[in-house]
Amino acid sequence: RELARRGFDLVITAWRKDRLEALAEELAAQVAVQVLPCDLGRTGGSAELIAAVDALATPIDLLVNNAGIAHSGEFTSMRAEDIRGLVALNIAALTELTHHFAQQMKMRGSGRILNVASVAGFQPVPSMSLYAASKAFVLSLTEGLSEELRGTGVSITALCPGLTRTDMVESLSAEGVPPFLMSSASQVAQEGIDALLNREVIRIPGAANQAAVTWAKYQPRWLVRGLGGLVSRFTPPRN
């Protein structure tokens, strides 16, 4: 919606076709929208999407990698299929899409990529260890590529929001979080697109999130992970 508001034609993808088509119908009065349903967490999903986009023969000027999932609870209690699914979507799919479209952008000498990471990528998060590790990967990859792509006309940005009102966060039972710590999806999207168009490398939406990341940066790592572990031990498990 934010990109459409700014006049960008769209190619949108997600695994729920009905919601994609409803969104396309909503935005069709503003911009051209093409729908490509795909499950990026499934084996071969990224390759399927890449082939479908390439078949459109429409250059992709902006790539937004915002698909992701999270699981809370002890790592040793996770199901093997949940581990594979999180790694496939949060890490593998993002990496494959970034690699493919960055190559095309580099050849054209222009393009922008937005990777949605998280404030969780800046420090370990006990009880969400695998999710935080996947976002640390996204953040590190984005920062490294920002230097590799310097001078090519291609920029890459890591958007690092905190808790945001989305289906994923609601599924983790975050309703008890104070309102000032919870961002709206529209606010985060606006900041992300601003950062993307300004070719920023990292954007952390919200003063509270910025303060938390800055605080953690200057503390001993044992203290940060220890406090995280203390909080997780006194937080009821969520399903």
pLDDT tens digits, one per residue of 179-210: 556 668 899 999 999 999 999 999 999 888 88
Q: How confident is the model at residue 111 (pLDDT cuts 50, 70, 90)?
A: very high
| Burial (CB count within 10 angstroms: exposed 0-12, middle 13-18, buried 19+), residue 18 | exposed
Using the structure block, give the residue that is written with the tokens 């975050």.
174
* Average per-residue pLDDT for the chain: 90
Read off the pLDDT of each residue in 214-225 and give the average, rounded to a whole number: 84
More confident position, 206 or 7: 7
* The two three-digit tokens of residue 27, written as one number: 């935005």
pLDDT in tens, 143-169: 999 999 999 999 999 999 987 766 655
Question: Beta strands 62-65 and 33-35: pairing type?
Answer: unpaired
Read off the pLDDT of each residue in 129-143 and give the average, rounded to a whole number: 97
Catalytic residue among 45, 120, 131, 188: 131
Using the structure block, give the residue that is written with the tokens 């190559």.
103
Read off the pLDDT of each residue in 45-67 and give the average, rounded to a whole number: 97
Q: Determine the pLDDT at residue 105.
A: 98
In this structure, the dihedral spanned by the alpha carbons of residues 225, 230, 235 and 236, taken in order and rounded to 10 degrees, is: 100
Is residue 218 among the annotated active site residues? no
Smallest CA-to-CA distance from 227 within 239, 237, 238, 215 is with 215
Q: Taken in order 100, 106, 112, 117, is the CA torsion positive or negative? A: positive
Please determine, for residue 171, whether its predicted confidence score (pLDDT) is greater than 60.
no
Please determine, for residue 236, whether its predicted confidence score (pLDDT) is greater than 50.
no
Euclidean distance between CA atoms 31 and 140, whole angstroms? 34
Cβ burial 146-155 (10 Å sphere, 16+ → b, else e): beebeeeebb
Please determine, for residue 235, whether its predicted confidence score (pLDDT) is greater than 50.
yes
Euclidean distance between CA atoms 32 and 25, whole angstroms? 10
Backbone angles phi, psi at 19, to 5 degrees: -70, -35
Q: Tell whether pTM > 0.85.
A: yes
Q: Determine the pLDDT at residue 83.
A: 96
What residues does 183 pair with on adjacent strands?
A: 164
Please determine, for residue 238, whether its predicted confidence score (pLDDT) is greater than 50.
no
